Structure 1
């Protein structure tokens, strides 16, 4: 989607101070692998990770709201410096309200990226609802923005870059890496 041709989307992107993400199907491709010992394995994109670090370096908070718990997710959040981790959540709206109370941000300053039915309730309450390209049709219909890339395949990086570009910070980031 071309932000320049959608002024309301551009305005929403500029207001974002907090990006919240679902995990399975957004930060991952939605597949869950189990070892013979019953350990769960998740695969995360390093490009998504860099995008999240760049976003956090620009002063935007990042958090997770997910229905599943996993040690792999905890390790990934620790690696990236994400301390707003709400996993094993049955009611994502309650988690959203807790995060907003804790951070002091308004729902209008918050973006949430999801992919499946349990995410719709949060998407309806934030300023910018994002669906990944391979989200369910219902989630896409609830979204203000649908990514071009699939969950686990660069969708989060796409969102991070879009926010940073809209805020006018992308060229400075490129220049920093070009030296």
Structure 2
């Protein structure tokens, strides 16, 4: 996952500015002026400014929908700046800080009702260890378990669809509370069956895959996501490519995208 630097901003009133960033940009106020944004961004507010910043501070935030955020900035006391970054407009916070917005995410992701995950290369780094008795083991990322939980709070269904027959797939699925289908040879047909069984339109299904055996399913799903180390054919189909590689927080990153889309 991407790592963003923590930014400290001097403001006239921490409580007032915190409410602005919560309401306008969807930040969550943790404590003592610390706010967390949608894509791993953090902002610490400290009192210490008697006059407005006058545009001396430029903050860049990634958001899921720039137009929606602009409306919120303007309706919660912010304004438009006269400056541009290239051809992109800038905006003003309550203390004169300049705000730049970059759109990131999946357009329409608030419609997603079902997520189907490939296992190897998405929940794992696509490697396997084999002991002298032929027993296989894989590495999974705990942050993905947290991501599954966060997505569950949105009311989005999630399942695992894997071509592997290894019982480790089911074991990991049970650990994080997901239904798993493994040993699947035709992922496209399986995806259609999963959606039909749940009475969910295929256009409201998001598929996360990493290799060519996911092509058919990704061509059918309404939304597609791939780890950044996925096969080039999969990257070409993906609506969103995570900064995380397989097994290193793909689902946790996806959770931030889906949560941001609903704010």
Q: TM-score, normalised by structure 2?
A: 0.60
Choose the corresponding residue for 1:29, options 125, 137, 151.
Answer: 125
Q: Where does residue 72 of structure 1 map in the other structure?
A: 168
Distance in 2 between residues matched to 1:103 and 1:90, nearest whole Å: 21
1:157-179 Cα shifts (integer Å, max 9, x gaps): 101121112112xxxxxxxxxxx
- Say if 2:208 and 2:225, in contact at 8 Å, map to a contact too: yes
1:17-53 Cα shifts (integer Å, max 9, x gaps): 1111101100000001111111110111110011001
Distance in 2 between residues matched to 1:68 and 1:7, nearest whole Å: 32
1:9 aligns with 2:86: no
Distance in 1 between residues matched to 2:257 and 2:104, nearest whole Å: 14
Q: Tell me, what secondary structure is at the counterpart of 2:158?
A: strand
Q: Where does residue 172 of structure 1 map in the other structure?
A: none
Mapping of 1:21-170 within 5 angstroms? Answer: 21-83=117-179, 85-168=180-263
Q: Tell me, what secondary structure is at the counterpart of 2:208?
A: strand
Structure with higher helix content: 1
Q: Tell me, what secondary structure is at the counterpart of 2:225?
A: strand
Larger RCO (alpha carbons 8 Å, 6+ apart): 1
- Structure 1: segments with no counterpart, 5+ residues: 169-179
- Shift of the 7–133 alpha-carbon distance from structure 1 to 2, 3 Å rule, reads closer
Distance in 1 between residues matched to 2:219 and 2:142, nearest whole Å: 29
Distance in 1 between residues matched to 2:157 and 2:203, nearest whole Å: 14
Distance in 2 between residues matched to 1:10 and 1:18, nearest whole Å: 16
Q: Tell me, what secondary structure is at the counterpart of 1:105?
A: coil
Shift of 1:7: 9.4
1-10 or 156-165: which moved more? 1-10
Q: Tell me, what secondary structure is at the counterpart of 2:65?
A: helix
- Shift of the 34–8 alpha-carbon distance from structure 1 to 2, 3 Å rule, reads closer
- Say if 2:65 and 2:261, in contact at 8 Å, map to a contact too: no
Shift of 1:8: 9.4
Q: TM-score, normalised by structure 1?
A: 0.87
Larger Rg: 2
Distance in 2 between residues matched to 1:102 and 1:65, nearest whole Å: 15
Structure with higher strand content: 2
